[in-house]
Every structure is written in structure tokens, then in C-alpha cells.
């Protein structure tokens, strides 16, 4: 009798539509122990590496619906378990819904859009870079970052090397789904390209040994894009962390983009943070270069202007570097490198890459204002 009742109850329930899984409850049950109730990466279970702060939106494997689903499905070795056999498809999708509510607002590009444009938010796209043009080195995987206003920066993603800036349209991508495959097609015109050889690693130790940069996360914060990367020495130790923010520069007559780089030491002590100012473009003229060492800080400016034959636009490359100095030392002689102290807050760098139709005084003043901001 008892058995019959149970069967009946089961068959009644089967006729009701299954209730939608509660993504928040599933998140609290399966994820919050590491990621925290609000997703801040501060749950009671301590693992190494630290659980991602989901509320930052800074993800390594992508923050789209598909990418988050893949992360939940397969986990991340060694610290995050896979949920493929723990949560069913509908449950996983409900958890993804909940994770998306923890993140800051971002733009999710859909497969339908192959020609991508940049609206009021920055856009970060990963993919294969086309191996053509002036760059005579393997480009491989890249990051293409569009900021509002029609400027696009290109980076190699393996070593976070800046490769160039484009003006105009953004990107045509046809490589959805398949990993690798078709390269991205940039739609803008090159404004400034690191050409010929691979640009030198911008960060070096005090012994002038290049530090390898490894991308840890990317994010979109409204009109700005953020790259986070670590600087590692030859033995693999992380010497410093870098946060680089890209945003549009619109200070008439200047238009272009700004890279704001902030370097934080890990306290290991072996690192003298150094930065190589961007090279002088061919046909460029250095308008200003000065380094001001003070007792505990170092400031460096460099402003370069270039005009291509037959064009009525100037290209401006300007950099301001500020940091904790190592003693009162000058820049390492003859290297163009700057000696920063080791410590927690190493340096801030602001790099402008911009054009101005109006040559001369007004643009020069705008460069100075923007550098001093």
C-alpha cells in the first residue's frame, strides 16, 4: 500500500513542469565556500591560487555566458573542481545566470555579430592576429581592444606586448567556436605600429634582464578596458603585478588613446622596475625628454611627434613615468631604462598615442595637460 502511494506521488509530480533551478541557491551551496556569498573571492575555504573575485569581472578564460559555463563544467586545475558530474545542464545554466549578476555590467558579443563595433563600452576580443603587414615576427594569439571613439589597440597575449594602435572601424571576427582558426581582421587604419622587429620587453630587472609578462585577467569597466598581468623573472617568480587601463583620449585637437599602467611590487625585493619608453617612430622628432630624479621619486617625460609625408596629421607619442626611485640615481646610463625602487607601489606610467589635425602649439599644450592629469 505504501509503495503504491509513493508511485502515485511520483507520477503526479512528473506531470508538473519541473521547477526552474534556483541559481542563487545552487551558487551558495556549491561555489560560495570558495568564491564568497557575494562572489568577492573571500569564502571560508582557502585554496591556492585564490578563488577569482567574480564581482570584478576580471576573468582569465572569458566572462561571457559560454566561457563561464565552460569553467563550471571543467573546473580549473588545480584549485577549482569540475562540476560536470555534480550539476546538470539546467542547474549549470542557472548558476551562470547568477554569476552574471555578480559581475559588473559588460557587453557580451554574440555570434551573430561578426563585424564588431565599439559603442559606449570598451570591447576586449581574443583571437589569432593576422600575420601580415609591417610586423615581421610571429604574432600568434592576440588581444584586440577597442575603446569608444574609434581607436583600437593590439597586443600579443602570450607576453602582453603592445603592438600597435588603429583608428577607424573595429574588428571583423569569424573565428567563433573553433579554437584558433581564422585570424581576426582589424578594420581600422594603422596609426602607430611596432614594426620590423619584436618590440623589446618593456619591463626589466635592475640587471637589465627582461621580465616575462603573463596575462592574468581582462575586463571591461564602462568605456575603459583593463588588462592585468604579472611580471616574472627567469626562475618563474612573480616580481610585480601590472594593471593597465586603456581608454579613449579626447582632448581637442588630440584624439587617440591612453594607456595607464600601474606596477605593484610583490615585495620579493629582487626587482628594480624598469620601463623602456616607446621607441621614436621613423621620421619622428623628440620634442621633450627629461628625467627628474628626486630623493625618493623619479619622474620622466618624453614627447615625440611625427608627421608622415603627404599627411596633414601629426602623431603624438608621449609618456610620463613616475615611481619610487632607487636612491637618487640617474637613469641607467645609455639604456634609457629607469631605476625604480623595489617595494609595494613601484610606478605609474601614462602613455598617449594620439593624432591631431591641428599641428603645433594647441596639440602640444593638450599633450602636456593630458600627461599631467
Name the DSSP letter for residue 55: G
Site membership for ligand HEC, residue 51 (CB under 6 A): yes
Which region, judged by CB under 6 A, interacts with ligand HEC, from 74-82, 127-135, 196-204, 327-335? 74-82
83 lies in the site for ligand HEC, by CB under 6 A? yes
Residue closer to ligand HEC by CB (options 45, 335) is 45
Q: Which member of 73, 76, 109, 276 binds ligand HEC (CB under 6 A)?
A: 76
For residue 365, the 8-state DSSP code is: H
As a whole number of Å, the CA-based R_g of the chain is 24
H helices of the chain, in order, are 2-15, 23-30, 32-35, 65-74, 89-102, 361-372
Segment near ligand HEC (CB under 6 A); pick from 41-49, 158-166, 249-257, 332-340? 41-49
How far is residue 68 from each of residues 10, 94, 203, measured CA to CA in Å?
Answer: 34, 12, 32
User: Which of 17-25, 43-51, 239-247, 345-353 is the region at the interface with ligand HEC (rule: CB under 6 A)?
Assistant: 43-51
User: Which of 28, 47, 209, 329 is the binder for ligand HEC (CB under 6 A)?
Assistant: 47
- Number of residues this chain uses to bind ligand HEC (CB under 6 A): 25
List binders of ligand HEC among 274-333 (CB under 6 A).
none
In the complex, the smallest distance separating the C-beta of residue 202 from ligand HEC, rounded to whole angstroms, is 25
Q: Tell me the closest approach of the beta carbon of residue 144 to ligand HEC, in angstroms.
A: 18
Binding of ligand HEC by 82 (CB under 6 A): no
Residue for cell digits 549578476? 101
Nearest to 190 by CA among 121, 120, 135, 245: 135
104 three-class SS = coil
Among 53, 72, 247, 363, binds ligand HEC (CB under 6 A): 72
Q: Report the candidate in 270, 247, 267 with the shortest Cα–Cα distance to residue 258.
A: 247
Nearer to ligand HEC, 33 or 266 (CB): 33
The rounded distance, in Å, linking the Cα atoms of 100 and 161 is 30
Q: Which C-beta is closer to ligand HEC: that of 95 or that of 274?
A: 95
Which 192-231 residues touch ligand HEC, going by CB under 6 A? none
Name 334's Cβ contacts closer than 8 Å, sequence gap at least 6.
none
Among candidate residues 117, 164, 175, 115, the one with its CA nearest the CA of residue 139: 164
The reply to whether 69 sits near ligand HEC by the rule CB under 6 A is: no
Rule CB under 6 A: is residue 61 a binding residue for ligand HEC?
yes
Choices 17-25, 48-56, 155-163, 269-277; region in contact with ligand HEC by CB under 6 A: 48-56
State which residue, 46 or 348, has the beta carbon closest to ligand HEC.
46
x/- letters, 89..118, toward ligand HEC (CB under 6 A): ------x---x-------------------
Measured at the alpha carbon of residue 332, what is the angle toward residues 327 and 335, in degrees to the nearest 5? 160
Q: Which is nearer to ligand HEC, 41 or 270 (CB)?
A: 41
170 binds ligand HEC (CB under 6 A): no
**C-alpha cell, 135:** 610586423
Task: Work out whether 80 is an interface residue with ligand HEC (CB under 6 A).
Answer: yes
How far is Cα 138 from Cα 129, in angstroms, rounded to an integer?
A: 9
To the nearest 10 degrees (0 to 180), the angle between helices 65-74 and 89-102 is 120
Angstrom distance (rounded) from CA 128 to CA 258: 24
Beta bridge partners of 215: 229
Tell me the three state secondary structure of residue 300. strand
23 binds ligand HEC (CB under 6 A): no
Provide the binding-site residues for ligand HEC, judged by CB under 6 A: 30-31, 33-35, 45, 47, 49, 51-52, 54, 59-62, 68, 71-72, 76, 79-81, 83, 95, 99
Amino acid at each position: 500500500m505504501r509503495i503504491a502511494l509513493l508511485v502515485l506521488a511520483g507520477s503526479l509530480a512528473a506531470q508538473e513542469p519541473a521547477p526552474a533551478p534556483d541559481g542563487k541557491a545552487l551558487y551558495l551551496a556549491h561555489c560560495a565556500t570558495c568564491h564568497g556569498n557575494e562572489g568577492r573571492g573571500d569564502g571560508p575555504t582557502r585554496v591556492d591560487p585564490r578563488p577569482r573575485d567574480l564581482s570584478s569581472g576580471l576573468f582569465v578564460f572569458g566572462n561571457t555566458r559560454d566561457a563561464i559555463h565552460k569553467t563550471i563544467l571543467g573546473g580549473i586545475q588545480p584549485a577549482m573542481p569540475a562540476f560536470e558530474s555534480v550539476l546538470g545542464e539546467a542547474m549549470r545554466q542557472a548558476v551562470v545566470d547568477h554569476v552574471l549578476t555578480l559581475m559588473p555590467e559588460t557587453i557580451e558579443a554574440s555570434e551573430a555579430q561578426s563585424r564588431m563595433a565599439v559603442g559606449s563600452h570598451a570591447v576586449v576580443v581574443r583571437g589569432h592576429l593576422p600575420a601580415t603587414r609591417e610586423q615581421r615576427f610571429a604574432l600568434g594569439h592576440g588581444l584586440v581592444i577597442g575603446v569608444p571613439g574609434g581607436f583600437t589597440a593590439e597586443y600579443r597575449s602570450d607576453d602582453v606586448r603592445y603592438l600597435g594602435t588603429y583608428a577607424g572601424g573595429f574588428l571583423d571576427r569569424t573565428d567563433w567556436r573553433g579554437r584558433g582558426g581564422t585570424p581576426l581582421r582589424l578594420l581600422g587604419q594603422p596609426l602607430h605600429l611596432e614594426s620590423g622587429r619584436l618590440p623589446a620587453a618593456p619591463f626589466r630587472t635592475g640587471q637589465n634582464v627582461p621580465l616575462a609578462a603573463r596575462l592574468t585577467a581582462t575586463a571591461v569597466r564602462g568605456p575603459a578596458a583593463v588588462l592585468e598581468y604579472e611580471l616574472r623573472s627567469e626562475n618563474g617568480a612573480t616580481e610585480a603585478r601590472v594593471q593597465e587601463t586603456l581608454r579613449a583620449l579626447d582632448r581637442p585637437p588630440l584624439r587617440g588613446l591612453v594607456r595607464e599602467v600601474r606596477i605593484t611590487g610583490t615585495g620579493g625585493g629582487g626587482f628594480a622596475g624598469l620601463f623602456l619608453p616607446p621607441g621614436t617612430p621613423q621620421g619622428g622628432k623628440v620634442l621633450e625628454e627629461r628625467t627628474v630624479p628626486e630623493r625618493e621619486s623619479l619622474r620622466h617625460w618624453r614627447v615625440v611627434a611625427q608627421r608622415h609625408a603627404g599627411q596633414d596629421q601629426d602623431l603624438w607619442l608621449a609618456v610620463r613615468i613616475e615611481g619610487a626611485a632607487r636612491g637618487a640615481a640617474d637613469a641607467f646610463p645609455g639604456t634609457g631604462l629607469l631605476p625604480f625602487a623595489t617595494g609595494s607601489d613601484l610606478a605609474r606610467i601614462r602613455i598617449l598615442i594620439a593624432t591631431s589635425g591641428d599641428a603645433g602649439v594647441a596639440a602640444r599644450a593638450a599633450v602636456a595637460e593630458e600627461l599631467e592629469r
